[in-house]
A and B are shown apart, each in its own frame.
Chain A
Amino acid sequence: MVAARKADPAKAADWKRVLIIVLCALTLASTLFLIQLNAVDRKTDEALSLTGLDFLTGNTPGKSAGVPHPMMIAAIIFAAWGVATALFKPDKFFYSIISAIFLIVAVFMFRFDVTYQAKGEFGLDKDALSFAFGWTLALVLAILNLAVVIWRKSERTLVLRRQELDRIYASANIPGGYKVPSTGAIIRRDFSKHWPVYLMVLPALVFYVLWCYGPMYGILIAFNDYKAKGGILGSAWVGFQWYRDFFRSAYAWRTIRNTLFISFYNLLFGFPAPIILALMLNEMRSIKFKRVVQTITYMPYFISLVVMCGILTDFCSTTGLFAAIQRLFGNDNPVNLLGDAKYFRSVYVGSEIWQRLGWDSIIYLSALAGIDQEQYEAATIDGAGKFKQVLHVTLPGILPTISILLILRIGALMGVGYEKIILLYNGLTYETADVVSTYVYRKGIVDANFSFSTAVNLFNSIINFLLVVFANKMSAILTENSLW
């Protein structure tokens, strides 16, 4: 009863909802109408005054005339998202914080983007740019918005926790009079109970803070023009210039498509293959033979890529092994498998399986060893045949491992490296073989640009991260196994 006496926290949260909506709207309005870009056209020497709205409608001079500025579109999307979340899903804290953060990013980046683009893109004199107070105002409003979202969240947490307790107490027919634990109290209680566990995690955690998060600021070079002199933080900011460069390339989408296709086929065939091998090995009676097979199948993993690809190119040539097989089947004019875009993915995925099959199966073999043998005995007593045992005991036994590895694998779909492909591809197979990393590699030969490659890698990472989040969610629903 003590907590309930205070002003109703549910209501208090509600006026903050209104505030969030207002702040989002004001941020957007200020971005669109109060930003006043005064500049001089380099060609005509004409003084120009552009508002945010002009950038949205594409009412700008130069190359990008007629094209809406992406940051403006982003600002609208995230402002609208913030408003929609506050209106319809007020308890989806994740959505509101994402929209609030990205609204800040969009407003913030707009200025750096436009400044960098001014000369090349809009044909404006860079030195004569001014944004009036609109940009600063919009940025302040957007940051305020984020603050309110966090404030509201901390209050809502208590409300929700209280509702939950109410429900529990009501269902157990216990009268009220309890105290809603604060977050601090929950953490203290958890810590006093679980401190030995946290102590065990601590060394690894220190490692991650120091060696993974410590250098993380290096990601920033994706948004600047990295020069050794200025270093990571002191080089000129270029906003999303590298992304514009990449996505304007005639081959951006082709390379993304190829990356996804190669990964997808690799997943489709390369993922189950080691599981099947592990299951087959598991059914072998001769322990000796089994060990020999295991040891031999894992060998190709250790052969260097250059040698592997050399062997492969030999085999695929018109005088090679595959040509001999084609002749055997009556084809007098055998094709070079690496000289035709049709076959590239098959060769790539096939060789990938060749090299990794045994190695990847090890982890499943270890999982198989962990299955409780009593279950097999129980199944045998129930009269289950071998096949049924595999289906009902073995597979469920290694399912957690399978699903976790699948999640990780899906989270690497955009991560096709260039090392192997540059050894195998050529002009005839670019159509299916040219992936994002090889494109970046080729560009790097012409000019070594750290920022460009970091920017494209970051794009890949974000896609991978989204994929892994999605896969993790699906796995949590379907198999109850998840990364977090």
Chain B
Amino acid sequence: MAASRNLMTKGEKAFAVFNYIFMTLLCIVCIYPLWYVFVCSVSDPVQLYAQRGVMWWPLGQWSGRGYKLVMENPNIPIGFRNTLIYMGVGTLLNMTLTIMASYGLSRKGCYWNGPIMKFIAFTMYFQGGLIPFYLMVKAMGLLDTYAGIILPVAVNTWNLIVMRTSFAGIPDSLEESARLDGANDWTILWRIFFPLAQATIAVIALFYAVNWWNNWFNPSIFLSTKSKYPLQLVLREILLKNDTSSMTQIGSVGQSQQEQFRMLVKYCTIIVATVPILVVYPFLQRYFVKGVMIGSIKG
């Protein structure tokens, strides 16, 4: 790195300056939506109702009223616990299956790998739809169980394909030399592929974890016991409960104080639903470090 610093030309310096300015602007643009939601969530509800356009600062007095309303719900800790279970067990299962299958399918010279890839890719385009899927879960006796939420989405094809690409990019020479030393497939996967592809593995784990975090549709279909609801489903209920507009259509609603907090609750819910998962990414970034030397493993 030190060597390249010395080689920095004028053009490169100009680029670096441009790069920093551009990135700063990009950050402002990208943080705005979350900031907007945050300032709305602590605004005065009466003024928030008439809010339109760009907003940089909370309206009226800062108030934690919305958060209080959201957090009062006893289902939130239960939902949080359930989400952690789904996310933990689910991601572990996802990663195990995905890594094993990606390793297997990235090996060259296997007669069936081509057909299996076609077989798998086909499912990205053709699905049976909700009704037979539900009947399948029901037939397996998995309705209203934790397993019924986790098993039917054990592998994500998109993630599998990305993982396989990353494995396929690891030089064959490493595998060959390991085989000469008598290593079997498990050892090769664990000792060579794992450290070399750790960045991709971290990203795929993030993708799976985020999916689990945001997962509400399947639980809403397959669960009937509230104590098994993941956080997102609990929050969704809070959000919709506070949305009286569906009742207004029936046309008999006057004014309720609850309605005042409708928007506030909406924004607070988004914050509660988003912030915990946002902090996961910075922790994963340490796996992104460059400098994993292929040579070091070779040697």
Q: How many A-B residue pairs have CB under 8 A?
A: 270
Instruction: Pick the contact of A311: B15, B33, B128, B158 (CB < 8 A).
Output: B33
Q: Which of B144-192 touch A at CB < 8 Å?
A: 151-155, 158, 160-162, 165-166, 168-169, 184-186, 189
Q: Is B84 engaged at the interface, CB distance under 8 Å to the other chain? A: no
A57 CB to closest chain B CB (Å) equals 35
Contact residues of A with B, CB < 8 Å? 186-187, 190-191, 194, 196-201, 203-205, 207-208, 210-219, 221, 232, 277, 280-281, 283-285, 289, 291-300, 302-304, 307-308, 311, 314-315, 317, 319-321, 354, 357-358, 362-363, 365-374, 376, 380, 385-387, 400-401, 404-405, 408, 411, 450, 454, 458, 461-462, 464-465, 468, 481, 483-484
Instruction: Pick the contact of A299: B33, B111, B152, B200 (CB < 8 A).
Output: B33
A217 touches B114 (CB 8 A): no
B295 touches A374 (CB 8 A): yes
Give complex CA distance A277, B22 in Å.
Answer: 10
Instruction: Pick the contact of A370: B31, B124, B200 (CB < 8 A).
Output: B200
Closest B residue to A299 by CB, please name it.
B34
Give complex CA distance A283, B19 in Å.
Answer: 9
Top 9 closest pairs, chain A to chain B, by CB: A218-B128, A215-B128, A215-B132, A204-B101, A484-B117, A369-B199, A218-B132, A366-B199, A201-B104
A146 CB to closest chain B CB (Å) equals 20
Q: Which of B22, B32, B288 has the most CB of A within 10 A?
A: B288
A211 touches B136 (CB 8 A): yes
CB neighbours of A371 from chain B (8 A)? 290
Q: Is B105 engaged at the interface, CB distance under 8 Å to the other chain? A: yes
Q: How large is the interface on B (under 10, 10 to 19, 20 to 34, 35 or more residues)?
A: 35 or more
Give complex CA distance A440, B153 in Å.
Answer: 27
CB neighbours of A293 from chain B (8 A)? 23, 26-27
CB neighbours of B33 from chain A (8 A)? 299-300, 303, 307-308, 311
B146 CB to closest chain A CB (Å) equals 16
Question: A373 and B291 in contact (CB under 8 A), knowing A321-B53, A367-B200, A483-B121?
Answer: yes
Instruction: Pick the contact of A204: B100, B125, B186, B287 (CB < 8 A).
Output: B100
Closest A residue to B153 by CB, please name it.
A211
CB neighbours of B289 from chain A (8 A)? 369
Closest A residue to B168 by CB, please name it.
A400
Give complex CA distance A299, B132 in Å.
Answer: 36
Instruction: Pick the contact of B125: A281, A285, A405, A465 (CB < 8 A).
Output: A465
CB neighbours of A186 from chain B (8 A)? 111
B15 CB to closest chain A CB (Å) equals 7
Give complex CA distance A141, B168 in Å.
Answer: 46
Segment from B63-71, B75-83, B251-259, B273-281 that makes contact with A: B273-281
Question: A219 and B161 in contact (CB under 8 A), knowing A200-B104, A308-B33, A372-B293?
Answer: no
Question: A196 and B100 in contact (CB under 8 A), knowing A308-B33, A319-B53?
Answer: no
Q: Is B221 engaged at the interface, CB distance under 8 Å to the other chain? A: no
A464 touches B125 (CB 8 A): yes
A196 touches B184 (CB 8 A): yes
Q: Which of A314, A363, A481 has the most CB of B within 10 A?
A: A363
Q: Which of B12-69 touch A at CB < 8 Å?
A: 12, 15-16, 19-20, 22-23, 26-27, 29-34, 36-37, 52-54
Instruction: Pick the contact of A285: B16, B96, B184, B291 (CB < 8 A).
Output: B16
CB neighbours of A376 from chain B (8 A)? 4
Question: A368 and B290 in contact (CB under 8 A), knowing A198-B112, A321-B54?
Answer: yes
Give complex CA distance A204, B163 in Å.
Answer: 14
A302 touches B278 (CB 8 A): yes
Question: A208 and B155 in contact (CB under 8 A), knowing A203-B100, A302-B274, A319-B53?
Answer: yes
Q: Which of A283, A314, A357, A366 has the most CB of B within 10 A?
A: A366
Closest A residue to B131 by CB, please name it.
A218
B288 touches A369 (CB 8 A): yes
A95 CB to closest chain B CB (Å) equals 17
Question: A198 and B132 in contact (CB under 8 A), knowing A204-B98, A212-B123?
Answer: no
Question: A380 and B3 in contact (CB under 8 A), knowing A283-B15, A293-B27, A370-B166?
Answer: yes
13 A-B pairs with CB atoms under 8 Å apart are A197-B107, A198-B110, A201-B105, A204-B100, A214-B132, A281-B23, A308-B33, A315-B54, A365-B199, A366-B202, A367-B166, A404-B165, A461-B125
